[in-house]
């Protein structure tokens, strides 16, 4: 039935989930691809899972995966990739600082590209958050040479065959474009809307927005050196 799956990682977002349901349900009615929603509850300690279960019971296009314990954003995204059966997969954060309707902007380009990522125009975050993200993106770009200005943007569309081949490790969600390039895939970034967080609490601070990505860059370099990529010429 579906052509596109949106992964929604969730960790202690009970105050946002009703709005997530409303906005994603509205998007499914205007989406250019028939869309399913997959919540990945990353071991939330609040009422998130209870609300997710209610949302999925009300809406046939909503489904969920519930982790037994908190494993981090990269693990949640990987689980979403592993359980996606549609040709295309994307993800959006449950804080809804990006707009679901902007998926249609990304979907316009996915035919010619293997990953289309948003780049947050006119970001509505604090000065410290914006500056730390800018520095982190500069460091990552120097290591990966992927040409992307905002890999932390939580709005992406990927061809599922490429997403499933990404050897995820903790922190690798910041390197998705670079990992598509390792597969000789094509990537592009498209400006999308950005909004301030209106509920819940941010999960990333200065430490894991700066020091963490720097350490992950060295992990990426190791991965790039060891990455196995082959192309079958023919079979007999």
Distances (CA, A) of 205 to 54, 130, 213: 31, 11, 12
Answer yes or no: is 232 within a domain: no
Answer yes or no: is 235 within a domain: no
How confident is the model at residue 227, as a pLDDT? 78
Answer yes or no: is 63 within a domain: yes
* 17 against 202, higher pLDDT: 17
pLDDT band, residue 218 (cuts 50/70/90):
confident
How confident is the model at residue 106, as a pLDDT? 97
Answer yes or no: is 234 within a domain: no
Q: Give the three-state DSSP class for 234.
A: coil
Answer yes or no: is 231 within a domain: no
Query: Residue 94: which domain range?
Result: 4-226
- Residue 39 β-bridge partners: 8, 64
What is the distance between the terminal CA atoms of the chain, rounded to a whole angstrom?
A: 34
How confident is the model at residue 204, as a pLDDT? 55
pLDDT band, residue 207 (cuts 50/70/90):
low
Answer yes or no: is 233 within a domain: no
Answer yes or no: is 200 within a domain: yes
Judge whether residue 175 has pLDDT over 70. Answer: yes
pLDDT tens digits, one per residue of 147-173: 777 877 889 999 999 999 988 777 788
The CATH number of whichever domain residue 30 belongs to comes to 3.90.550.10
The reported pTM is: 0.84
Query: Quick one: average pLDDT of 191-205?
Result: 70
Between strands 62-66 and 35-41, the pairing is parallel
Q: Give the DSSP letter of residue 131.
A: H
As for how many domains the chain has, the answer is 1
How confident is the model at residue 128, as a pLDDT? 55
Answer yes or no: is 118 within a domain: yes
């Amino acid at each position: 039935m579906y052509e596109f799956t949106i992964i929604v990682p969730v960790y202690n977002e009970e105050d946002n989930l009703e709005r997530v349901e409303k906005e994603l349900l509205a998007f499914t009615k205007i989406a250019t691809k028939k869309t399913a929603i997959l919540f990945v509850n990353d071991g939330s300690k609040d009422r998130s899972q209870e609300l997710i279960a209610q949302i999925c019971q009300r809406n046939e296009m909503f489904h969920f995966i519930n982790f037994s314990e908190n494993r981090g954003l990269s693990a949640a995204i990987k689980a979403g990739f592993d359980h996606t059966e549609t040709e295309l997969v994307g993800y959006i954060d449950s804080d809804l600082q990006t707009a679901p309707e902007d998926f249609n902007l990304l979907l316009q380009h996915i035919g010619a590209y293997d990953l289309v990522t948003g780049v947050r125009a006119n970001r509505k975050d604090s000065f410290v958050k914006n500056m730390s993200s800018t520095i982190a993106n500069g460091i990552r770009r120097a290591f990966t040479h992927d040409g992307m200005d905002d890999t932390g943007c939580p709005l992406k569309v990927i061809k599922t065959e490429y997403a499933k081949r990404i050897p995820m490790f903790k922190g690798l969600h910041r390197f998705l474009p670079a990992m598509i390039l390792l597969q000789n895939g094509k990537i592009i970034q498209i400006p999308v809307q950005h909004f301030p967080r209106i509920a819940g609490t941010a999960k990333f601070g200065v430490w894991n927005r700066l020091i963490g990505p720097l350490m992950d860059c060295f992990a990426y370099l190791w991965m790039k050196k060891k990455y196995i990529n082959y192309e079958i010429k023919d079979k007999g």
